[in-house]
Amino acid sequence: MRTVGCIGCGNMGGAILGGLVDALGDSYAFAGHTRTPGRIAPLAAKGVRVKPDAHALARDSEIIILAVKPYQIAAVVEEILPALNSDKLLISIAAGVSLKRLKDLCRGASPMARCMPNTPALVGEGVFALCLEDEALSQTSKDEVLALFGALGLCLPLTEAQFTAFSALVGAGPAYVFEMMRGLVQAGVTLGFPHQQARELVVALFAGSARLAGEREEHLMQLRDAVCSPAGLTIAGVNHLDRAGLAGLLVEAVLKANTRGREMEE
Ligand SMILES: NC(=O)c1ccc[n+]([C@@H]2O[C@H](COP(=O)([O-])OP(=O)(O)OC[C@H]3O[C@@H](n4cnc5c(N)ncnc54)[C@H](OP(=O)(O)O)[C@@H]3O)[C@@H](O)[C@H]2O)c1
């Protein structure tokens, strides 16, 4: 059985490894190494084999997920370098560390993929961009990466050049959604609902609306209009959002994030 190992089992690495164990525990063995031993205890309880150091993890795993902070990547790759070879597959989730930099760090020893998750991955509902542009990646490896992250949520193969746009829309996306939720909770409190109750209502509202949008074929405008009875209360609220330009504001927010992302790449 092939082993998937993860170096850095913090928030994102821990969530990804834990999710993979739940989804693919019958198909793969799993290993983990992280700096603070206490953080890996919940994963060990799920059957993840705890490795004493990054080198041992890389030696004993066919697929190695790098999930340390971007500034820690170079030191970790240096440590695992002697264990790398062309039969291993490296997957980095470090934001902003390019494929070229990763390949340079590992001196081209192993094929490499990049993955960009968003924070709902922490609760098993992530969206993952995957860069599979490394020429050293075989079709089998590409399929395997897609199958691994496909088991965790929606995953989308993208060019590395598209990663910034993905980050501006989907990586940053939870912040936009939470901001909209915050405003609606505030409205609920203003109308007399206790805060906790307003929050529960708004969370259920988003979850149900997201499911409806996901399952129906209709254009989003049709779904919106279906809620708006003639001369009713919804159209009064929607008219105000139109006047305030909510859709335009969202477009601007994503474009500004994209611009900032491009600046940061330079
Ligand atoms: N969180 C997000 O929303 C998100 C989204 C997209 C991408 N990412 C990427 O995911 C990566 C991890 O982020 P995170 O939020 O999960 O950070 P995190 O919670 O700090 O996790 C990083 C983990 O790596 C461990 N670590 C550091 N150096 C190590 C080493 N030399 N050997 C083994 N373990 C080591 C840390 O140990 P300690 O516990 O001792 O600090 C920590 O547990 C980052 O590269 C980030 O860019 C995160």
Q: pTM of the full predicted structure?
A: 0.91
Burial 149-160 (b: 16+ CB within 10 A, else e): beebbebebbeb
Q: Cα(139)–Cα(137) distance, rounded to whole angstroms?
A: 7
Q: Of all protein residues, whose CA lies closest to atom 27 belonging to ligand 1?
A: 68
Question: For the chain, how many residues are written?
Answer: 266
Q: Report residue 21 as tokens.
A: 């164990």
What is the predicted pLDDT for the residue at 139? 97
DSSP 8-state code for residue 48: P
What is the predicted pLDDT for the residue at 132? 97
Residue 25: closest CA among 57, 2, 41 = 2
Q: Could you read off the pLDDT of 215-228 as tens digits, one per residue? A: 999 999 999 999 99
Q: Of all protein residues, whose CA lies closest to atom 45 belonging to ligand 1?
A: 94
Q: Is the CB of 33 under 6 A from ligand 1?
A: yes
Q: Is the CB of 175 under 6 A from ligand 1?
A: no
The hierarchical CATH code for the domain 3-160 is 3.40.50.720
Q: Is the CB of 53 under 6 A from ligand 1?
A: no
Q: Is the CB of 185 under 6 A from ligand 1?
A: no
Per the CB < 8 A criterion, the answer to whether 189 and 195 are in contact is yes
Candidate from 17, 66, 68 with most ligand 1 atoms within 8 A of CB, to mutate: 68
Q: How many Cβ atoms are within 10 Å of 144's Cβ, its own excluded?
A: 20
3 state DSSP class of 142: helix
Q: How many Cβ atoms are within 10 Å of 65's Cβ, its own excluded?
A: 26
Q: Report residue 49 as tokens.
A: 């084999």
Candidate from 7, 9, 12, 92 with most ligand 1 atoms within 8 A of CB, to mutate: 12
What is the predicted pLDDT for the residue at 61? 98
- List beta partners, residue 49: 31
Q: Measure 182 CA to ligand 1 centroid, in angstroms.
A: 28
Q: Is the CB of 14 under 6 A from ligand 1?
A: no
Q: Is the CB of 34 under 6 A from ligand 1?
A: yes
Q: Is the CB of 36 under 6 A from ligand 1?
A: yes
Q: Is the CB of 10 under 6 A from ligand 1?
A: yes
Domains 3-160 and 171-265 share a fold: no
DSSP 8-state code for residue 46: T
Per the CB < 8 A criterion, the answer to whether 65 and 93 are in contact is yes
Candidate from 17, 35, 71 with most ligand 1 atoms within 8 A of CB, to mutate: 35
Q: Could you read off the pLDDT of 48-77 as tens digits, one per residue? A: 999 999 999 999 999 999 999 999 999 999
What is the predicted pLDDT for the residue at 265? 81
CATH 1.10.3730.10 fits 171-265, yes or no: yes
pLDDT in tens, the chain (266 residues): 999 999 999 999 999 999 999 999 999 999 999 999 889 999 999 999 999 999 999 999 999 999 999 999 999 999 999 999 999 999 999 998 999 999 999 999 999 999 999 999 888 899 999 999 999 999 999 999 999 999 999 999 999 999 999 999 999 999 999 999 999 999 999 999 999 999 999 999 999 999 999 999 999 999 999 999 999 999 999 999 999 999 999 999 999 999 999 998 87
Q: Cα(233)–Cα(229) distance, rounded to whole angstroms?
A: 8
Q: How many Cβ atoms are within 10 Å of 230's Cβ, its own excluded?
A: 5
Residue 17: closest CA among 32, 39, 2 = 32
The H or E element containing residue 222 is helix 220-227
Residue 8: closest CA among 60, 100, 59, 77 = 77
Q: What are the structural domain ranges in the chain?
A: 3-160, 171-265
**Helices and strands (DSSP H and E) totals, the chain:** 12, 8
3 state DSSP class of 227: helix
What is the predicted pLDDT for the residue at 122? 86
